[in-house]
Chains A and B, each alone.
Chain A
């Protein structure tokens, strides 16, 4: 069965520092991949998605992610963290073709300190 692994349940960075959140998927066929952000007591908001059109995907709020097939990874980055980036981030995968059923990673909580 396909799975999504997010390395690090908590990540802490300084304001202005690079943000790197890791995501790996298990699949012999590259799936569609998504990153979502969740603020406390709210639903999930789509940050970006990979659909095989380009390996480097740009999203909202200055985030981007790079799809690396050889590493089965889809890590999320942002060059300079802002206090407002503090939230929980979820990576999700859906098999290309077939029904739209997402598999989520366990999430990474990002803390940004001054």
Chain B
């Protein structure tokens, strides 16, 4: 079955460490996205990519970095510069054209202490 795989499901890190969240899709979608979810705030866009080797900052990109070396993969690195990294992170993908919905992975819950 086609879908989006995020790993790991739960991740724990010490403050000051960088951590990379994995996102892989086999839907053959060109566009991929990373959202951050905090209670009561909905989803906020961190980064998005429309095509391989290209990506753009979203609304809250500070302290995060991404790469898009392959169509299927869009890893997110949470750096030590991110002030409040503890959150639920969601990866999504979509086709580019028309009113296409986003397809979401099951998320990674990151806890930094």
Contact = CB atoms under 8 A, between A and B. Distances in A.
A100 B100 contact: yes
The contact size tier of chain B is: 20 to 34
A106 B42 CA distance: 4
B102 interface: yes
A46 B106 contact: no
A27 B95 CA distance: 24
A42 B108 CA distance: 9
Interface string A95-107: 0100111101111
Interface stretch (B12-20, B43-51, B63-71): B43-51
Contact of A106 (B41, B58, B99): B41
| Interface-centre pick from A44, A90, A102, A104 (highest chain B CB count, 10 A) | A44
A114 interface: no
Given A99-B50, A101-B48, A105-B42, A43 B107 contact: yes
B101 interface: yes
Nearest to B98: A51
Contacts of A45: 104
A49 B94 CA distance: 14
Interface of B: 4, 6, 9, 31, 35, 40-45, 48, 50, 58, 88, 90, 92, 94-96, 98-107, 109
6 contacts: A41-B88, A43-B104, A90-B43, A99-B50, A104-B35, A104-B43
